[in-house]
Amino acid sequence: MATYTADTLAPADYTGIQKGDILFFGAYPKEKGGKNEPIEWEVLDVRDGKLFLLATMAIDAHAYDGRASDIFFGESITWESSELRAWLHTDFFFRAFNKAEREKIALTQNAQGENTDPDRVFCLSCKEAVDYEKTAAAKFTDLAKDNGATPYFWNWSTEWWLRSTKGGRDAYFVSAEWGIKDGSDWLTYGIRPALWLDPKGGNPTELPEDTAARFTATVSWQEQLWAEMAAEAEAEEKTELSWQEADAAPQAGAKAAALSFDPKTLRVGDLVSFGSYEQGNGKAPITWKVLNVAGDRALLITEKGIDCQPYHHSLTPITWEASSLRAWLNGEFFATAFTEGEAARILSGVIKNAGTPNTVDKVFCLSKLEMQKYFGGDIGDTRGHAAPTDYAVARGAAIEQKSGTCQWWLRTQSERFADHAMIFCFTSALYGGDKVNAPDYAVRPTVWISLQ
């Protein structure tokens, strides 16, 4: 395998490039706010003097077509009409390549419909991915991760889009572990652009006027949606991370139980014992991890997934306030896990639920933003990973065989569907979502306790 840099090559020099070689061509940022850096491409094929190139990494991330999950839900999405294709032909095409480089990008008739514009930059089809043996997850840039590509810590890879579609609202992608899969086209996956490079040049450097207008309108729609989602997230962050003790009368005659640890030396990250619960071999002390110490109180989360419960007992639009999981945590779990003296130490607090009613809880699940605050969200960050207890597994909690960890509920609802609640995924330091009645997710209760 040889490596070449397009800027240094004359047209005749390309004749020595072979399948499997690496070529640096064009430039694109590798991190948000970063400068353009050369893009690394693998030569998949050499045909009629042209080179078929595929980016060696997922260099950015994008939805195939976000409209399918919003106002255009129900309409059929094709590669020709997709937002991903529009983005590749506008934002990416003009940012990644200067005029001389654009002249070297050949027009390719990839679309299956009639009278469609040829592609300049595109994604592989399912057939091409198989033919060229590109059916494995890809490495990725920080920019791709920050823009929504999900990082998988065990092999430092991510999924990436193909251009083939299925059924109008699904598109194919290369998954992290299972080869080519199909999934909802409004999800965000990594992008590995492909193109045919023509060393002779002379190809059009601008889009036809009507095509440019159509593509720009398509991309602008999604950018507006992203801006609205960013504004919502910012408003959520301003409210959700604040916690306020609620005015709650103490239990009549209840005296706070002695702590098993010294509150004066308590530090974030410490493991402490508090309360007890069935662990699989009988009731035993619960081990908690300290997430925060604020004056005379501390925020604790169970070290393990200690039980398995659905977010709600039926598939229906639901809020944290009305969920069966909240009722179970503040009812059966609270009564079972804590003595009267231990219960007297647990503080009632106003729980911020951006977009849905705030609640007053003693026991709760973390929100999406709280999870990010206390456990991070960077690649390889495993601080939020947790093993389930034997009892939780017996109750139905799924366990990831490679890592021995489980997935666990957050209280934050999906931004798009009211019958979804967010979950932490063991495959990433980020989060995913599933239906609220999913039966195999663990629970990591969280409490604020008094240290006085």
Q: What is the pLDDT of residues 253-282, one digit of tens each?
A: 578 899 999 988 888 889 999 999 999 999
User: Exposed/middle/buried for 282, CB within 10 Å: 0-12, 13-18, 19+?
Assistant: exposed
Give SS3 for 3. Answer: strand
Query: What pLDDT sits at residue 417?
Result: 63
State residue 209's pLDDT score: 78
**Of residues 91, 123, 122, the one with CA closest to residue 223:** 91
> How would residue 147 be classed by pLDDT, with cut points 50, 70 and 90?
confident
> What is the chain's mean pLDDT, rounded?
85
Residue 217: which pLDDT band, with cuts at 50, 70 and 90? low
pLDDT in tens, 148-174: 888 876 668 999 999 998 876 789 999
Q: Do 64 and 183 meet the contact criterion of CB atoms below 8 Å apart?
A: no
Give tens-digit pLDDT for 333-344.
999 999 999 999
Distance CA 226, CA 246 (A): 35
Which among 165-179, 279-293, 362-376 has the top mean pLDDT?
Answer: 279-293
Using H for helix, E for strand and C for coil, what is the string for 344-367? CCECCEEECCCCCCCEEECEECCC
Q: Which of 185-189, 360-364, 396-400, 445-449 has the lowest mean pLDDT?
A: 185-189
Instruction: Report the pLDDT averaged over residues 110-132.
Output: 83
Determine the pLDDT at residue 377: 56
Can you tell me which residue has the tokens 């198989």?
130
Compute the average pLDDT of residues 394-405: 88
pLDDT of residue 52: 98
Structure confidence at residue 109 (pLDDT): 85
Residue 159: closest CA among 143, 148, 169: 148
For residue 20, what pLDDT is reported? 96
Residue 220 has pLDDT above 60, yes or no: no
Average pLDDT over residues 302-331: 94
End-to-end distance of the chain based on CA atoms, in angstroms? 67
> For the ranges 174-188, 189-203, 301-315, 420-434, which has the lowest average pLDDT?
420-434
- Single-letter amino acid, residue 84: L
pLDDT band for 123, please (50, 70, 90 cuts).
very high
Residue 428: its pLDDT value, please?
Answer: 43
User: What percent of the chain is modeled with pLDDT above 90?
Assistant: 52
308 or 179: which carries more pLDDT confidence?
308
Amino acid identity for residue 171 in this structure: A
Residue 256 CB neighbours (<10 A): 18
Confidence of residue 214 (pLDDT cuts 50, 70, 90): confident
pLDDT of residue 371: 83
Contact between residue 342 and residue 388 where contact means Cβ atoms under 8 Å apart: no
Query: 118, 108 in Cβ contact below 8 A?
Result: yes
**Percentage of the chain surpassing pLDDT 70?**
83
pLDDT band at 63 (very low <50, low <70, confident <90, very high): confident
Average pLDDT over residues 284-309: 94
